[in-house]
Amino acid sequence: MTKILPLVLVAGLLAGCGASVQQTADLNAPVTITNCGQEISYPAPQRPVAYDVSGTEKMFSLGLADRMRGYVMNKLGDPAIAGSPWKDDYTKVQRLGTSRITREIVVDAKADWVIAGWGSGFSEERGITPQLLDQVGIRSYLHTETCWNFGDKKTTVPPLEALYADLANLGKIFKVEQRATDLVADLKNRVAKVQQSIPANVRPAKVFVYDSGTDQPFTAGKHAAPTDIIATAGGRNALGDLEKGWTSVGWEPVVQAAPDVIVIIDYADQPAADKQKFLEAHPALQAVPAVQQKRFFVMSYGDAVSGPRNVKGAEDFAAYLRSVGR
């Protein structure tokens, strides 16, 4: 004999089914956000690709590794992977390239969404721009930190605020808004704690960021993450007035700035110890306080580029500054 379910139970089952369908529909619904001054509607990404530590770890930090098609990272970033809190996620997600990201890589991967920076991934010269990717059905998201140099509606956002904006936007795009809210709140709390440790009545240490270069040093300007990392720790980027992100300068501005500390960015081009030896032996730098007092701090590439590890970079650098009375 067929058993008849009570009407109340039937209605409840149908309502539950409807809720499930509605939830699925919500997860796939497009969202509109502002990226580099433009309002953009993003369909829910199904095969997202991230470029470099910045894009990859913003995704990983939001628990999105299992949704990713892959990532592209120059092999110079390998030490940053080894020291990453998300190194297990790196092993789970396919690495699609070990040099720069290209349009061919993302097209071959059948990606439908890419995150990268302007000039640090996307590039007119290399033929991979949001406009060109749109033509083949691939949507783009640009790191807010790089918006100062992109498009007609250039927007300038301080590096840490740019990081928070990216995490919030990714939370909306991938429907993990609570995760993004919690992560940003945690990062801001850690930043506040670091700032509270800055000693009163002490002049901020002038800091020169040395990435690489012999004839001309490659360093961090106003729009690069180290400027905010250093400020959070209680220092001041000696070349932080440069209206640039990462850029080359002459040695003369470094000498004139007379930095108290030199931050050496560590990645797989050459050991940080070799970079320090070069700086210590450079004739033009012999009168620089940081060189005279051997005040060098090694910062991982993964901590220095836009991403959630910026706060760890600030915490570690603050600990170093306190150790030398700054």
* Dihedral angle, C-alpha 33, 99, 85, 174, nearest 10 °: 20
Q: Tokens 């628990």 map to which residue?
A: 63
Residue 3 pLDDT > 70, yes or no?
no
Contacts of 194 (CB under 8 A, 6+ apart): 232, 233, 311, 314, 315, 318
Per-residue pLDDT tens over the stretch 133-189: 999 999 999 999 999 999 777 789 999 999 999 999 999 999 999 999 999 999 999
**What is the pTM assigned to this prediction?**
0.90
Ordered by start, the domain boundaries in the chain are 29-189, 201-323
Residue 199 pLDDT > 60, yes or no?
yes
Q: Tell me the C-alpha distance between 190 and 201, whole Å.
A: 22
61: exposed, middle or buried (Cβ count in 10 Å: 0-12, 13-18, 19+): buried
Residue 21 pLDDT > 70, yes or no?
no
**CA nearest 34: which of 188, 150, 141?**
141
Contacts of 170 (CB under 8 A, 6+ apart): 58, 59, 62, 64, 115, 141, 176, 180
Question: What pLDDT, on the 0 to 100 scale, is given for residue 18?
Answer: 53
Mean pLDDT confidence for 37-47 = 95
Mean pLDDT confidence for 198-213 = 95
Question: What pLDDT, on the 0 to 100 scale, is given for residue 23?
Answer: 54
Rounded to the nearest angstrom, the gap between the alpha carbon of residue 237 and the centroid of all alpha carbons in its chain is: 18
Question: What pLDDT, on the 0 to 100 scale, is given for residue 66?
Answer: 97
Per-residue pLDDT tens over the stretch 64-117: 999 999 999 999 999 999 999 999 999 999 999 999 999 999 999 999 999 999
Identity of residue 149: N
Strand 38-42 to strand 31-35: parallel, antiparallel, or no bridges (unpaired)?
Answer: antiparallel
29-189: CATH topology? Rossmann fold (3.40.50)
Identity of residue 21: V
The DSSP H or E segment spanning 254 is: helix 251-257
Question: What pLDDT, on the 0 to 100 scale, is given for residue 152?
Answer: 78
Q: Tell me the C-alpha distance between 122 and 132, whole Å.
A: 10
Helix (H, G, I), strand (E, B) or coil at 218: strand
What CATH number labels 201-323?
A: 3.40.50.1980
Residue 5 pLDDT > 70, yes or no?
no
